[in-house]
Structure 1
């Protein structure tokens, strides 16, 4: 028997402290509740939403029910940190639908000030969150002292429970439905519309239905999709009479309490302890697991009587769910982020399609799944379609379930074609920093490259692509390739399974890993046969997994670990790989946030994009990262101020009503990104901390990758913090109990416990090892562990600070000895204008040109008119060149709303910025070369000889790498 949750699950940060009054109608009718007809109200134990009773009102046409006393409404004050607004909440149970409306009025001294209607054409429980100053008619005022319910134009009987006259709710979260279809209309087009627009989405289905005649292929395709979906979901269990009895008893317990959605429980936050204690519930996800177990049992049982018993129990369980308000047309007050809790319910219902058809109840289940999965979204006009990671992750499987629950095969085929159209038109490259797929293989969510959400998107989308593959409803062509490239890219920023720490968003806990199953299913979904590239990647990631024998039987072999350098400037990310290791560098800019922090997530992650340079050879733990004891002030590669933890801890608020309670800070710099050429690469950024913390902190940083070596340079390091030192971190590695396996110093080099050799040319080194104290990233509680730490100390309030060091990554003793004697590179320039490094082994030169103008201390590039990144390599009689303009150019000039009257940058929500959906503008950069060269002109590159110089006009956008081949004119 499962443990049933009692009490309330709190979600902090959505509701704010206030004294909340609640009417729970236990024991007796409150003295301030009265009607104009005697004995029409009573306390009943028939049904309830908390405690063990509710208020029964047996009304006649036009009768009124009154609650006297202060309503508690508070006027929203603009400009303050508080963004939640006063809303009204209640539960109503209706046994017999009424073709009329219940009117809820709010009065002051007998005069109606505001009101709203509730359509009574429903059966079961319903609730609503109605915001006073947006959703109601009239004008609410403080001091309202009476609530009046005016009965519909016909008699009836309802139960009322849990009236909360005024509670502060995030205005994004009130949801409209069929009973209160006027609530929060803005949500239909808001950033969270995928969660909130259930009413709109459901009601656009019928008017967009088209009649089609199914071909034999269409019908075979439907059968193939259903078969694959069923096979993927099914799990065999042993069915016994005892197990059936256990499930029957489990349901008996569920019926005594209520089925809740955790996101709406926030309205209980400020109730008194005794009021909270009356609220007993089972979470929807737990109920879904129970339903899915019943579905497994039904599909595993051989005995007809057992199957019939299980089917009846399952159907009764669904009826309980509908009665609780979980039915088509009901939004439970709020519906935001629902998909995470409904997956098991959808799967269970699909697996029980056959018995539900026999019982005649499958259509009601289909309507419910259609409503909550927002299946009507697939009818969105093509011009309004935009991919959404939350939809792919949590809602798409429910949409497919709703389609496959059709009894009418023609309708099923019609809806599958509509799903295909939706996917083919929405899987595309999204503009700006909006969520979705980017041309460089990254997947965006929350306005940033977010591998953890990409994983969820693949877990939702890729199985759908697999189910539809090889049918008339398949995802093909460009759309298939976009998803394929994104899946393949995950193995580049992961090693072997873990993501780079700087890419973990608000969850730097080491738990998120690559999804190998997506590689397998995408490989099986190849358009003509098994996709070779995906299958061989899967063989490396999951050598003992499903389909291995099938792939090997086709002559496919495990891929070697990816080798090369990759630029992903939509995420300000540079990746470099050799052998079995990955080195990655991450920055941020005025377009890309530097951190994502919530009230209980990533509280100390401010520095994670300050040029973080991480080397991963295996898991995060094996590569030196364990959350407990990790010093958040010393991400390797970053240049940051070593402030005390209490000052590092984020100061979080809800900046505006387009955001949640979070921190996602931007810089005012446009220069941050990377470049790649012939398997090598570079990264550079202008670091400028947001003035919310220390707007005086600045640095110019670069990393140059040449085979298994990295050269890291810094200049212009400055800030005005005279209390705390500024450090550039070389490494920080978890040691565990083996303290002997720590760094070793050999003259001017250091070898860390991960076998990386550091050669510091400029900078005062500080080395530490032993017990290291830190704070938990979620709770702020003290943590500790044994660590080694090395950093360059720039002192307090540095001015024009610099550093220069190089790293030999994972070298053996012979390579380390050679590196120690001569690392084989030259720094040609290192100042605020440029960092220029020449590799003597590959004859490649990297240019981080932070400013436009003449380029100093090199014989090749004369000048640039745009801050740029350039890599050059002489090969035979030609020079190969790669160029990057790292400015994404999502907008020009200054975003004035991000600055105060004194020109100081202030915190603004990234979600509120008008430019987030802009397409990056093309820009043409003039690069002047010393000497005469020819190149093949193209749409991106034009060349012109000008005396002893060559003028290259290079057009690019979105931080893309432009490759150029130059041939010298003798």
Structure 2
């Protein structure tokens, strides 16, 4: 009995000590977070610190004006089904309460202290706001406007989502705990805060970590609120440890790669919201808040796991792949077309990563340093942000994360100046060359086309209709320096699109966030070259307008093809827009077929190709003369009248515009044109005069678009119909729709091959859903992507240089079948070598030059072994089973192919190849 009591006491002691250690960690995080918020020990001699401090002081002083509030008679409680009450709550919390709290909590410097620091008068002012909120109905029983969907573990909000706009309230409760306790109001407001964040608690039954990822809106808003709640809890609160553990697990799960159409991070590290790519607002703020949580929890019992930290870092660094300076493609901006500089706001997250783990995240710190050098104006604006922290990070040395990172001695990370990036979950291709960037944005049965509201992005219907955005001009490249100006913008003439030219009244009524039912949307690459291909359908077209479109990216040139342009019974003309660029100066010339044009009263229309022109910023456009280019080409310089994206005011602007007119109700429209980035008059004309020296267009129909880039001998196949057999290069056929790129090297003895499957692995060939169907069914919303094997047949006998687990090659007579195990729409690139030559991989060659190549391997039939060496002696082969028993001996003359395996059962074998004194052993797999 005494032994049992002793053991029980020992277990209790262990549990007590463990719990004590965890509670100690929570309190350490509490101190760290509070100091980070309030700037404890900040060095006010630093310019950047004073810039931010002054901002917080001025905001706080302005917030003292509370004349709009009747504290003696607050009136009826807020009804959060009414937008006016939602707005009133948000204004009080974000523009009054939290600003006064920071004014109260900031000490200032020792030489010029903040006179309002812990001022009794200011304390009473703050408490009066808390009491006002209580009188207006804020309590533990308030309906804070969120709904959970148990089947999908989704949290959605209606109206303004008050629960998502309460970070200021949560932070104020945390920072004012002592004052609220003294006033007897802490328990009441903690109850309200618990209700606000109830869906991030162990007792919230609908959430069981079934689905990886989580709602981006919740991550960017409510996670920080819940942290404030847990940190503000008393040590004696029995739920504190469980709440903190649940919060950590919640964030770890939220930062997993989300399946299907669920938020937040996708397999290509694009951020999602509303079932589509959303890199500004929701995405950027979710990553920023997650980086803060990562920083606060680091080196504690609640540190995020390795997977969460890795995904967070990859998603943040991903922005540099699709951004040029601070600009990103409009197709990632959701319903906020004027908010395209998301990486500017995300910069501080790079600094958070670096100071959290300087050794592992040095690249993040170096990228921050690079971005800091772009714009002094942007740096000042970043320091003046109204974020919930005076410091942006607490450091014992009293410097901000910005200073700590900038003063670390890090060299800037080199800018990505030449690359091809694919983002299948965004429907986006990005090509970089010579500090230029061009992007192509599409839509499909997986990817929705655009998002709007009654006052946001009203005319954004063509955002994903193959839009091409060029960023090629400006010491700091912006949309404005590249001719994308909202005032006067013609929303039907989006560069790169082939769409109906509509009046604004018709354009404004398009349904948002819908997939168009078409399967083919792919983003391919071969090294730094790329292809974008799309079977386009305008979801909002009453007549079902469609087109097959492709773009081919090689260095500074883009080739654009279109075929099967159809709009049966259409009533509006179909235009393919080459460019629409604002005229910063009406005297700046554009060139058309060598002739200079200025002013805003210029129009020329030409039928058919043998045409070239430049836009208003120096990019060149070439339409060759051939049977694919027989339609009218129009170029204008004019003053355009339009509406802003909110559809609230008329706008005007001067623009140069060029488009191909396919007419009303086309049945088989086509086009070919090339763009040379910053080609100007000279290089553009050179391309026009030597078009065939750059491109050979082998096929352009409903089966495929096939292009040869002559300078580098690269063949690109956009294969819409896989029943086709080809004979242009190495490619013979493919068994599923795909984009294939090939390039022969080493005198034709090697072959680079890439294959891209437009199928993300989420839907079968016959499946297609509307947005509401995806959102309402967990089996679709959180569907796990499946591997889809695509087999490419190429001419000749080839073997893989470096076998991988997602590519296999098997010789099939005079051809070779290459099987690609594709998933998530990502490109797979491999390299092959003529089977008669072996490989140049050192592991396949011994010190005396003995080369051995086995193909196919694995095999379902037999193995073909080719041996080459420095000797002309004969070959003999010993075959052993997996247990080391010799089961076969074969002999062959020099340079003779050895065939074996037809009589072997499935399993693993080893072939020991001898030539004179040289010996090699290779592993054989019989399937």
| Interval of TM-score (by shorter of Structure 1 and Structure 2) | 0.7 to 0.9
**Aligned twin of 1:827:** 697
Moved more, 297-306 or 694-703: 297-306
Change (3 A) 1:217 1:432: closer
**Correspondence 1:845-884 to 2 at 5 A:** 845-876=715-746, 877-884=749-756
SS of match in other structure, 1:416: helix
Change (3 A) 1:616 1:689: same
**Aligned twin of 1:353:** 177
Kept in 1: contact 2:695–2:710 (CA 8 A): yes
Distance in 2, Cα, partners of 1:647 & 1:385:
40
Change (3 A) 1:376 1:429: closer
Segments of structure 2 that go 5 or more residues without pairing to the other structure are 1-15, 43-48, 108-113, 147-156, 380-399, 595-609, 837-927
Distance in 1, Cα, partners of 2:648 & 2:28:
57
**Aligned twin of 2:299:** 470
Kept in 1: contact 2:245–2:302 (CA 8 A): yes
Kept in 2: contact 1:717–1:799 (CA 8 A): yes
SS of match in other structure, 2:104: helix
Change (3 A) 1:248 1:695: closer
Moved more, 520-529 or 801-810: 520-529
Distance in 1, Cα, partners of 2:117 & 2:365:
44
**Does 2:354 align with 1:524?**
yes
Distance in 2, Cα, partners of 1:261 & 1:673:
49
**Correspondence 1:84-163 to 2 at 5 A:** none
**Does 2:230 align with 1:403?**
yes
Distance in 2, Cα, partners of 1:512 & 1:676:
26
Q: Deviations over 1:341-374 (max 9, x none)?
A: 3222222222223333444533333222222133
**Does 2:549 align with 1:701?**
yes
Q: 2:31 aligns with which of 223, 231, 234?
A: 223
Kept in 2: contact 1:363–1:406 (CA 8 A): no
**Does 2:335 align with 1:506?**
yes
Distance in 2, Cα, partners of 1:715 & 1:238:
56
Cα shift at 1:221: 4.3
Change (3 A) 1:874 1:316: same
Q: 2:492 aligns with which of 627, 633, 647?
A: 633
**Aligned twin of 1:784:** 652
**Does 2:322 align with 1:493?**
yes
**Correspondence 1:412-491 to 2 at 5 A:** 415-452=243-280, 453-491=282-320
Q: Deviations over 1:835-891 (max 9, x none)?
A: 111112222221111111233351211111100011112232421211111122422
Moved more, 628-637 or 407-416: 407-416
**Aligned twin of 1:540:** 370
Change (3 A) 1:385 1:211: farther
Moved more, 490-499 or 793-802: 490-499
Cα shift at 1:804: 0.6
**Aligned twin of 1:318:** 130
Change (3 A) 1:249 1:558: closer
**Aligned twin of 1:555:** 409
SS of match in other structure, 2:284: helix
Change (3 A) 1:725 1:538: same
Distance in 1, Cα, partners of 2:117 & 2:210:
52
Distance in 2, Cα, partners of 1:547 & 1:703:
42
Distance in 1, Cα, partners of 2:98 & 2:754:
54
**Does 2:38 align with 1:213?**
no
Distance in 1, Cα, partners of 2:775 & 2:645:
24
**Does 2:485 align with 1:622?**
no
**Aligned twin of 2:621:** 758
Distance in 2, Cα, partners of 1:870 & 1:251:
65
Q: What is the TM-score when the length of structure 2 is the normalising length?
A: 0.73
**Correspondence 1:363-378 to 2 at 5 A:** 363-374=187-198, 376-377=200-201
Q: 2:815 aligns with which of 949, 953, 969?
A: 949
Cα shift at 1:716: 0.9
Change (3 A) 1:510 1:292: closer
Q: What is the TM-score when the length of structure 1 is the normalising length?
A: 0.70
Distance in 1, Cα, partners of 2:172 & 2:217:
21
Cα shift at 1:728: 0.8
SS of match in other structure, 1:915: helix
Cα shift at 1:693: 2.3
Kept in 2: contact 1:340–1:394 (CA 8 A): yes
Kept in 1: contact 2:807–2:819 (CA 8 A): yes
Distance in 1, Cα, partners of 2:642 & 2:86:
38
Q: Deviations over 1:809-833 (max 9, x none)?
A: 1246765464344352221221111
SS of match in other structure, 1:292: helix
**Aligned twin of 1:775:** 643
Kept in 1: contact 2:74–2:132 (CA 8 A): no
Distance in 2, Cα, partners of 1:680 & 1:482:
26
Change (3 A) 1:646 1:221: closer
Q: 2:675 aligns with which of 802, 807, 832?
A: 807
**Correspondence 1:581-620 to 2 at 5 A:** 581-617=436-472, 618-620=477-479
**Aligned twin of 1:665:** 514
Kept in 2: contact 1:510–1:627 (CA 8 A): no
Q: Deviations over 1:416-453 (max 9, x none)?
A: 33322221233111111122101111011011111122
Distance in 2, Cα, partners of 1:925 & 1:843:
24
User: CA RMSD for the aligned pairs?
Assistant: 3.3
Change (3 A) 1:494 1:350: same
Cα shift at 1:261: 6.3
How many residue pairs get aligned? The number is 730
Kept in 1: contact 2:588–2:616 (CA 8 A): no
**Does 2:121 align with 1:309?**
yes
**Aligned twin of 2:387:** none
Cα shift at 1:539: 1.4
Kept in 2: contact 1:260–1:284 (CA 8 A): no
**Aligned twin of 1:88:** none
Q: 2:210 aligns with which of 370, 383, 386?
A: 383
Change (3 A) 1:694 1:312: same
Segments of structure 1 that go 5 or more residues without pairing to the other structure are 1-208, 269-278, 653-662, 899-906
Distance in 2, Cα, partners of 1:229 & 1:280:
26
**Does 2:763 align with 1:891?**
yes
**Correspondence 1:719-730 to 2 at 5 A:** 719-721=567-569, 723-730=571-578
Distance in 2, Cα, partners of 1:442 & 1:238:
33
Change (3 A) 1:503 1:238: closer
Kept in 2: contact 1:465–1:525 (CA 8 A): no
Distance in 2, Cα, partners of 1:592 & 1:246:
44
**Correspondence 1:639-718 to 2 at 5 A:** 639-651=498-510, 663-690=512-539, 692-718=540-566
Distance in 2, Cα, partners of 1:246 & 1:454:
30
Kept in 2: contact 1:624–1:754 (CA 8 A): yes
**Aligned twin of 1:797:** 665
Cα shift at 1:638: 0.7
Change (3 A) 1:749 1:384: closer
Distance in 1, Cα, partners of 2:441 & 2:729:
30
Q: 1:922 aligns with which of 779, 787, 800?
A: 787
Kept in 2: contact 1:829–1:857 (CA 8 A): no
Change (3 A) 1:787 1:312: same
Change (3 A) 1:249 1:947: closer
Cα shift at 1:622: 1.5
Cα shift at 1:477: 1.5
Distance in 1, Cα, partners of 2:678 & 2:305:
41
Change (3 A) 1:280 1:356: closer
SS of match in other structure, 1:423: helix
Distance in 1, Cα, partners of 2:118 & 2:729:
85
Distance in 1, Cα, partners of 2:270 & 2:784:
16
Cα shift at 1:929: 0.5
**Aligned twin of 2:142:** 330
